[in-house]
């Protein structure tokens, strides 16, 4: 957690205490957009093109509510290695006529690109895809997917959750139609803050069914339906925003913008390469790409009793997590010292040698 979060949340409490309901007209109402602009600076969006929501599930649901799946173009093409929340949301669209086609992975680590591109056809409406896979850290070939999707009239929803803040992202250069992500990981913004980018050409004409009074052109007119949608990204908002979370998130965004993603990426590549080297020296399987340029900011190491080892590591104040089918997910960030990279590998070895993992029940671990 950035130190500045304390000051930000104190600022929220002071504003609430001193300004009360007046705070809405003095900045609160615009925060989904003003904070969104801070994220926009990280992912390559222009001012006014990003708005904030509670989580990625909400963002994906808002996007999908814009479309009619009752016609022939009703297919959703996704990779089985995408984060489950995305797949759950898209599978639920089957009740509205959508057909979800999941492209299976042969190695549990990468997406078979030829198979994915082949699945995207003239009946495909949307392609939700992760920029970096959460289970392995693999960077996905987004330009090829965008080219194929746009070539057949389909739209691309890019999930930047595992990339933004540690891998350079430029949503306009990539020409994606939508981009979503959250703040719990690389953006250091804490829970309750996710972002939604919509390409301007689409934002001017789409009308989400998942909506609310913030999406209204003149919300304080308190009109009866039908809604008159706001211009730009604000039409993709819903109800009253989550102000405390937006206050808390700003410190992380400021730091990432100040340090610069390119500098973070350079350090990340060096430290993750060192992790791969150390893990291989121990004889452990690395379930992440071995080529630095194909890997995001994490390294997934598969060791015996991985879930239990992770629990013991967490008990010893090593902050990492475990992913079933992958292994121990180690994610150094801009604040991680080189000595900490060495220390986590050494600690895993000591836990395995001592059998300390045995005191933990098997099962999942963060």
Same domain, 228 and 279: no
Same domain, 163 and 209: yes
CATH number, domain with residue 98: 3.40.640.10
DSSP 199: -
Domain's final residue, options 259, 283, 299:
259
Query: What pLDDT score was predicted for residue 325?
Result: 87
Task: Confirm whether 364 is domain-assigned.
Answer: no
**Spatial contact of 357 and 308, defined as CB atoms under 8 Å apart:** yes
Same domain, 319 and 202: no
**Spatial contact of 304 and 352, defined as CB atoms under 8 Å apart:** yes
Please give the biggest Cα pair distance in the chain. 68
**Spatial contact of 163 and 133, defined as CB atoms under 8 Å apart:** no
Same domain, 159 and 223: yes
Same domain, 269 and 250: no
Domain's final residue, options 259, 294, 315:
259
Same domain, 89 and 181: yes
CA pair distance 9, 92, nearest whole angstrom? 36
- pLDDT, tens digit, for every residue of 159-203? 999 999 999 999 999 999 999 999 999 999 999 999 999 999 999
Question: Cβ–Cβ contacts within 10 Å for residue 21, how many?
Answer: 8
Same domain, 47 and 167: yes
Residues of the chain with pLDDT under 70: 362-366
Query: What pLDDT score was predicted for residue 366?
Result: 55
Same domain, 265 and 255: no
Query: What pLDDT score was predicted for residue 239?
Result: 96
**Residue where the block lists tokens 């050494």:** 346
Same domain, 60 and 94: yes
Domain's final residue, options 259, 279, 307:
259
Question: Cβ–Cβ contacts within 10 Å for residue 225, how many?
Answer: 5
Strand order in 321-323's β-sheet?
Answer: 285-286, 299-302, 327-330, 321-323
- pLDDT, tens digit, for every residue of 234-259? 999 999 999 999 999 999 999 999 99
Strand order in 178-182's β-sheet?
Answer: 50-53, 194-198, 178-182, 155-159, 124-130, 75-79, 99-103
Same domain, 240 and 283: no
- pLDDT, tens digit, for every residue of 61-71? 999 999 999 99
Same domain, 16 and 47: yes
Strand ranges, E, within 168-220 = 178-182, 194-198
CA pair distance 45, 200, nearest whole angstrom? 10
Task: Confirm whether 366 is domain-assigned.
Answer: no
CATH number, domain with residue 279: 3.90.1150.10
DSSP 46-85: PTTSEEEES-HHHHHHHHHTT---SSS--EEEEETTS-HH
Give the HSE-up count for residue 284: Cα atoms under 13 Å, Cβ half-sphere. 25
Number of domains in the chain: 2
* Domain boundaries, position 325: 261-359
């Amino acid at each position: 957690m950035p130190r500045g979060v304390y000051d930000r949340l104190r600022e929220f409490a002071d504003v609430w205490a001193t300004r009360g309901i007046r705070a809405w007209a003095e900045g609160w109402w615009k925060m989904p957009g003003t904070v969104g602009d801070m994220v926009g600076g990280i992912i390559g969006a222009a001012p006014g093109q990003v708005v904030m929501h509670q989580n990625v599930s909400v963002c994906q649901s808002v996007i999908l509510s814009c479309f009619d799946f009752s016609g022939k173009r009703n297919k959703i093409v996704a990779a089985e290695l995408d984060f489950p929340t995305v797949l759950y949301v898209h599978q639920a669209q089957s009740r509205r006529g959508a057909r979800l086609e999941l492209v299976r992975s042969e190695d549990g680590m990468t997406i078979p690109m030829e198979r994915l591109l082949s699945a995207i056809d003239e009946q495909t409406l949307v392609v939700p895809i992760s920029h970096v896979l959460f289970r392995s850290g693999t960077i996905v070939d987004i330009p090829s997917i965008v080219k194929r999707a746009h070539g057949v009239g389909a739209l691309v929803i890019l999930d930047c959750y595992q990339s933004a803040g540690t891998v350079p992202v430029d949503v306009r250069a990539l020409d994606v139609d939508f981009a979503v992500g959250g703040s719990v990981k690389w953006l250091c913004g804490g829970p309750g803050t996710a972002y939604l980018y919509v390409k301007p050409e689409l934002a001017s004409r789409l009308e989400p069914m998942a909506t609310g009074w913030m999406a209204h052109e003149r919300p304080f007119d308190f009109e009866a339906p039908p809604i008159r949608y706001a211009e730009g990204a604000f039409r993709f908002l819903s109800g009253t925003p989550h102000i405390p979370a937006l206050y808390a998130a700003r410190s992380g965004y400021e730091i990432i913008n100040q340090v610069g993603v390119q500098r973070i990426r350079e350090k990340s590549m060096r430290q993750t390469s060192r992790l791969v080297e150390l893990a291989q020296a121990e004889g452990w399987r690395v379930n992440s790409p071995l080529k630095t340029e194909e890997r995001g900011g994490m390294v997934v190491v598969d060791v015996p009793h991985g879930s239990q080892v992770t629990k013991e590591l967490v008990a010893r104040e090593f902050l990492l997590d475990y992913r079933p089918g992958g292994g121990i997910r180690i994610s150094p960030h801009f604040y991680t010292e080189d000595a900490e990279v060495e220390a986590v590998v050494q600690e895993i070895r000591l836990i395995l040698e001592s059998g300390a993992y045995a005191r933990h029940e098997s099962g999942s671990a963060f």
